[in-house]
Amino acid sequence: MSYKGTIGPGKIVLYAAYKPQWNSEQWFGKAQQIFTRMKWTHTALGFFKYEKHNSEVLFESKELQCTTLWNPRVMSEYEIYQIKWYTQDEIEKALWKTYKEYAGTSYGFLQILYFVRRYIWETPWIKKYFGWIPFDIFGKPRDVRHWNNWFVGGTICSELFYNMMSNLNNIRFHSGVSKALSIWNKNNFHSGDSFTFIKSLPEIFEFEYHKPGGIIE
């Protein structure tokens, strides 16, 4: 059954992969799945509809951060979540602030190199034999998710979601959201982390729909 709801402010869409096709987006998505060890390759935010236009709209990352028309056919699998703890007015204020901060900024392609580095340090045998290396000056083990990203220019899709949740938490504080945000920073947060973030906060996010891979809508 195809999705019958609407995509608007307060909805989060997670995509698993682009449909098989010979283009850069397909290869980029597959590379993300390899280096994050998770299937989720893209995060998009439900946005306000265009004036005099009935199509659903997303705010997401392409070559630039921009609004696009919702088209479920371009992805092979996706899930939709609704933010529920905050009011709709709070959600829309946070979303609009995020849009004004990031619309038109370029994609952070070099940020992806951090996830290769993270992949290496999260490899079990490397953690087992070399885990003593990444300690801070006080001898405390450092979570690789807290490591600095050497290339912070530009913006990636999951960064939009991270920043919207940060803006939302600044509007109305929630200890669980604050704790979850502290695990990463905006430059160390991929779409698999978006999924982990959402699933860790069932009081904030409500699952709405899952379209399995291989089903045509």
| CATH number of the domain to which 117 belongs | 3.90.1720
Q: Would you say residue 4 lies in a domain?
A: no
Residue 133 pLDDT: 64
Model pLDDT, residue 114:
79
Quote the pLDDT of residue 24: 53
Residue 73 scores a pLDDT above 80: no
Distance separating alpha carbons of residues 216 and 122, to the nearest angstrom: 35
Report, as an integer, the average pLDDT of 87-104.
Answer: 96
Distance between CA 131 and CA 181 in Å, rounded?
Answer: 24
Phi and psi, residue 106, nearest 5°:
-80, 160
For residue 175, being part of any structural domain is answered with yes
Please report whether residue 178 resides in a domain. yes
Q: Into how many domains does the chain fold?
A: 1
Tell me if 81 sits within 8 A of 202, measured CB to CB: no
pLDDT at 168 over 90: yes
Contacts for 123 with CB less than 8 Å, ≥ 6 apart? none
CA–CA gap between residue 183 and residue 200 (Å, rounded) = 12
Location of structure tokens 């290496």: 120
Residue 185 burial (CB count, 10 A): 17
Task: Give the pLDDT confidence score for residue 188 in this predicted structure.
Answer: 85
217 inside domain: no
Cα dihedral sign for 18, 108, 112, 110?
positive
Name the pTM for this structure: 0.86
Inform me whether the pLDDT recorded for 52 exceeds 80. no
Is 5 within a domain?
no
The amino acid occupying position 201 is L
**Residue 166 forms part of a structural domain:** yes
User: Could you list the residue range(s) of the whole structural domain that residue 129 is in?
Assistant: 11-211
Q: Tell me whether residue 168 is in a domain.
A: yes
Domain annotation covers residue 42: yes
- The CA distance from 215 to 123, in Å, is 33
Determine which of 44-48, 124-128, 136-140 has the lowest per-residue pLDDT on average: 136-140
- Select from 149, 139, 143 the least CA-distant residue to 117: 149
Q: Which residue matches tokens 């940060």?
A: 166
